Chain A
Amino acid sequence: MNLPVTNKQGGPPGKSGKWGKHVIEEARGRAFVYFCVLLMVVTIFSIVFFIASRGLTPFISQGVSVKDMLFGLKWKPEGNPPLFGALPFLFGSFVTSVLAALIAAPLGFCASIFMTEIMPKFGRTALQPAIELLAGIPSVVYGFVGLSVVVPFLRDVFPGQGIGILAGAIVLSVMILPTVTTIGTDALRSLPSGLKEGSYALGATRWQTIYRLILPTALPSLLTGVVLGIARAFGEALAVQMVIGNAPHIPRSLFESATTLTSIITLEMGNTTSGSLHNNALWSLALILLLMTFLFVFVVRMLERRVKR
């Protein structure tokens, strides 16, 4: 009984056998969606492959040691001998993004609590659109505002030129605030409502409920938002580059010019010839950025697994 249903009755004319119109149509549609997915998979593998192949060249065939790059303090790619110490950039990237997260996290948590626990209606109609708008503002605009508002302000209030890690961190903190807030809000909204009611029933105040019950329960999700925020800050290029000063050393204070991985790449990639050691060393920095992305995704996945449990 494995004949296909033939159209003796009720079936439309003009179709015959197994290869009816719908079979071909289905095959064509499937081919299209498989193609799209395949393209995406190929793209990501080629991103990793191409950047890794260029970024590994200095270590494999041009005599730069991984240790020198990761822990070296001097970046003199055109010097004699050339030095490729990327530690100042790593330091700059880590410190700015972590500092940005430290500023953004408490603000974001408060905003999330405001939107879920305190004034949900006002939060939904005013604060949420505001935060979505913040997310939509392009990074060069943040850079521009940072350069023309934050930097002069810091220059007036604190010693130094105003440019530096703190300026970068402040600009970044506004940029990642939407990430932290949105994920935090989703997490708080998805908490079971019985949780709160039980606590209120015991006579706890709202703050006690938030502090003792809601925050600990939602902590892994809130951390997910923070990690995603750090990831975004770590990879952000232009806004930081515009306000951080770009001096290739480890700064002694928050108000001294510094450099991040992204900003050094932005600045130097265009001025080096493809294939030169200097150029390849920049690809190594890009590879570090790429590996950091994997690390962030991994950490986020770990946190999400904890949420599910």
Chain B
Amino acid sequence: MSAQGLSTNNLSVFYGEKQAVKKVSMDFEERSVTALIGPSGCGKSTFLRSLNRMNDLISGARIEGEVWIGDKNICDPHTDVVRLRQRIGMVWQKPNPFHKSIYENIAFGPRYHGVKGRKQLDEIVETCLRKTALWDEVKDRLSQSGLALSGGQQQRLCIARSLAVQPNILLMDEPASALDPVSTAKIEELISELKKDYTIVIVTHNMQQAARVSDRTAFFFLGDLIEYDDTQKMFTNPSKKSTDDYISGRFG
């Protein structure tokens, strides 16, 4: 296994008595996009959020099993979660830029992690905004509030923000479901661009989106991982019947 590979081994997540994710073992391919699909409440978001231990915030949530990043099991209680999270970027359904300027939204993370000097920060801001195709749209108003941008721009700003601390992995929880079709197309384009450098895991409700952007797809149902294969194969010739039913819209 390489230094940055992401995988899970028998990962279970409980909310109190309820088991939301049931012993899921998955290997994520590096520098590619993996889509997690399934009906609401199937555990795909919970699964995603346990990959950077964001579920720690929910009282009563409990994790069993292992999540490996390189040679580190992040479920180990001794793991320094704070530093771990820096290597895993995250993007949410609703754009959530900080209540700060566009520049600060991006510079805040790197500065906190020790990048000093205006010049370096300027560089990081420009690089990240260019990567998310936002630079030309905002370069003249970097000091404006991040909240002043449109929804789609805000979401790209949030992606840029997470890139600024140099993660290897990007987790995206339905990143385009709150956006209009044009913005959605932009985000999808961006994802295809970013997978050259990052391992991307994306949760989506939108079957077409999964088919368009992902290389591999995992189908979750009631907390179980039902099927996990190349996207091509999943959408043309799934091996399980429930996968076929879900993909062809017969339930969920």
Contacts and interface: CB of A to CB of B under 8 A. Distances in A.
A12 B84 contact: no
Interface in A61-76: none
A18 B114 contact: no
Nearest to B72: A5
Contacts, number: 52
Contact of A10 (B73, B86, B115): B86
- Chain B interface category by residue count: 20 to 34
A10 B168 contact: yes
A37 interface: no
A107 to B, nearest CB: 42
**Majority secondary structure, A binding face:** loop
Interface string B149-179: 0000000000000000111100000000000
Interface in A1-40: 1-5, 7-15, 18, 20-23, 26
A10 B78 contact: no
Nearest to A6: B83
Given A10-B86, A10-B166, A10-B167, A1 B73 contact: yes
What 9 A-B pairs have minimum CB-CB distances, sorted nearest first? A2-B78, A12-B114, A12-B113, A4-B80, A10-B166, A1-B73, A5-B83, A22-B82, A5-B80
Given A8-B3, A11-B86, 15 more contacts: A1-B73, A2-B78, A2-B79, A3-B72, A4-B80, A9-B3, A10-B86, A10-B166, A11-B83, A11-B113, A12-B115, A20-B80, A20-B82, A22-B82, A26-B82
B72 A1 contact: yes
Contacts of B114: 12-15, 21
A3 B74 CA distance: 10
A18 B86 contact: no
Please indicate which of the listed interface residues A3, A9, A12, A14 has the most CB atoms of chain B within 10 Å of its own CB. A12
